[in-house]
């Protein structure tokens, strides 16, 4: 049974800012990282959050702020869960930054919903590379579309000082220009699922320092008060249980909140690297998270020690939970974008083929006897299998529900589950009782 967390009814206050955009690819992560690095270098304790389901941006933002980054979302994380995270940050930080997702008003729930729910002032990032006076019109539209606390705008990819002056002059008097990043600023490289992972960027510290220099002197945003709420703590459902967790550049899509949740339920987490050809460690359960196995398929195929240990683990009947990329390596083959077929574990029948087009995106939930477990799907691969689904996820709003496959002790799906949304269901999947 879940325990109730003791709370202090006194609100916690901290300067806070939500960095949104008028669309995707405006440079929100670049700007958020620049602000985080700027304030962290000034000696402030900065806590950064990412709106919505995302694994890659938080890695970069952790490097910029020097502190763990968690996700906020009014549906997947929940309002109470998001409030608890914000309260925890406000209790110890000098500044809270929240990076939005997509455009400010895009999605259900949107970044605007999060800002409205928690009274977060919004700074809108606008790619100004191909506009002049229209910059002011876009800024005014973002501000007036809905009643939010609108702090101002940040111009990205600006051609030079003259262009910056033109953009500033286009703004209405009630919309300040909070900052400018010139076109020469180095942006983070991208690939099919988003930005390149922080661990792959050798020059990342220098990039972050350069961005902090370019963003210029910044004042602290307005102070926001966060009222604590009573949040249930998960019971010790995994007490004494050892869980092996794959974690490296191929299996890196791990919510920090998921690991925290498993630990809070009493699990001992043993991490290992399939890319380093490490054996699956001694454990009662195995968790294969998502990531980029397609980028490392040839190496994973050659790493027979880890593949053989994976097969040996599955043969014992102990629970194995695999999400997205973790699921992909369980099938017979993985076909990379160049058409090469790489042999995988062969624990599930079929093959996974990488495609150029996005195959699925959106919030989803899985209903189990323990209730609803929320999460999301986001993948470019297509699965061909004769295996019949044991369950089907329910999409939140639109799209098709992802199938969930079961074979013996294996549970596999494209769903990236957010464990704190239902710790009991997550525990059931990792104990074979779900």
293 Ramachandran zone, left/alpha/beta (phi>0; psi -120 to 50): alpha
Return the structure tokens found at 429: 């999947």
Distance between CA atoms of 136 and 369, rounded to whole angstroms?
A: 52
Q: Are 241 and 267 in contact (CB under 8 A)?
A: yes
Q: Are 35 and 180 in contact (CB under 8 A)?
A: no
Instruction: Name which of 127, 114, 147 is nearest 16 in CA terms.
Output: 114
All residues at 6 or more sequence positions from 62 whose CB lies less than 8 Å from its CB, including other chains: 48, 68, 69, 198
Instruction: Name which of 423, 370, 414 is nearest 395 in CA terms.
Output: 414
Return the structure tokens found at 359: 């195959």
Helix (H, G, I), strand (E, B) or coil at 6: coil
Q: Are 228 and 83 in contact (CB under 8 A)?
A: yes
Question: For residue 100, what are the CA distances in angstroms to 34, 110, 336?
Answer: 15, 8, 31
- Which residues are paired to 71 by β-bridges? 50
Q: What angle do CA 237, 243, 247 make, to 5 degrees?
A: 135
Q: Are 215 and 207 in contact (CB under 8 A)?
A: no
Cα 178 off chain centre by = 26
Cis peptide before 320 (omega within 30 of 0): no
Instruction: Name which of 330, 313, 307, 291 is nearest 242 in CA terms.
Output: 313
Instruction: Name which of 377, 386, 381, 366 is nearest 426 in CA terms.
Output: 366
Helix (H, G, I), strand (E, B) or coil at 182: strand
Q: Is 74 considered catalytic here?
A: no
Q: Which of 87, 261, 324, 393 is catalytic?
A: 324
Q: How many residues does the chain have?
A: 434
Catalytically annotated residues:
324
């Amino acid at each position: 049974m879940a325990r109730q967390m003791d709370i202090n009814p006194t609100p916690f206050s901290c300067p806070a800012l939500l960095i949104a955009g008028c669309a995707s690819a405006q440079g929100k992560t670049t700007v958020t990282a620049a602000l985080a690095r700027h304030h962290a270098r000034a000696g402030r304790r900065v806590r950064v959050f990412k709106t919505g389901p995302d694994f890659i941006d938080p890695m970069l933002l952790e490097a910029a702020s020097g502190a763990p980054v968690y996700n906020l979302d009014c549906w997947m994380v929940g309002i109470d869960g998001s409030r608890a995270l914000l309260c925890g940050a406000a209790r110890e930080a000098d500044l809270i930054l929240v990076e939005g997702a997509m455009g400010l008003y895009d999605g259900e729930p949107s970044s605007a919903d999060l800002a409205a729910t928690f009274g977060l002032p919004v700074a809108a990032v606008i790619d100004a590379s191909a506009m002049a006076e229209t910059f002011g019109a876009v800024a005014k539209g973002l501000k007036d579309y809905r009643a939010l606390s609108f702090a101002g705008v940040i111009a990205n990819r600006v051609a030079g000082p003259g262009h910056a002056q033109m953009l500033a002059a286009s703004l209405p008097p009630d919309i300040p220009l909070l900052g400018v990043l010139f076109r020469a600023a180095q942006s983070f490289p991208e690939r099919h699922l988003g930005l390149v992972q922080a661990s792959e960027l050798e020059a990342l510290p220098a990039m972050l320092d350069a961005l902090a220099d370019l963003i210029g002197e910044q004042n602290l945003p307005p102070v926001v008060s966060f009222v604590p709420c009573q949040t249930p703590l998960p019971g010790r459902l995994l007490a004494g249980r050892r869980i092996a967790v794959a974690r490296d550049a191929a299996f890196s899509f791990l919510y920090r909140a998921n690991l925290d949740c498993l630990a809070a339920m009493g699990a001992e987490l043993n991490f290992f690297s399939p890319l380093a050809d490490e054996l699956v460690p001694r454990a009662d359960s195995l968790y294969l998270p998502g990531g980029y196995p397609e980028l490392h398929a040839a190496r994973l195929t050659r790493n027979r020690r880890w593949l053989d240990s994976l097969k040996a683990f599955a043969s014992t009947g102990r629970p194995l939970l695999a999400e997205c990329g973790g699921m992909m390596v369980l099938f017979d083959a993985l076909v990379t974008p160049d058409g090469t077929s790489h042999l995988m574990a062969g624990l599930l029948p079929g093959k996974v083929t990488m495609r150029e087009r996005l195959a699925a995106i959106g919030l989803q939930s899985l209903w189990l006897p323990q209730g609803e477990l929320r999460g999301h799907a986001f993948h470019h691969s297509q699965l061909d299998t004769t295996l019949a689904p044991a369950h089907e996820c329910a999409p939140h709003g639109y799209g098709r529900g992802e199938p969930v496959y079961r074979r013996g002790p294996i549970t596999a799906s494209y769903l990236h589950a957010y464990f704190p949304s239902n710790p009991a269901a997550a525990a059931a999947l990792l104990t074979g009782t779900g």
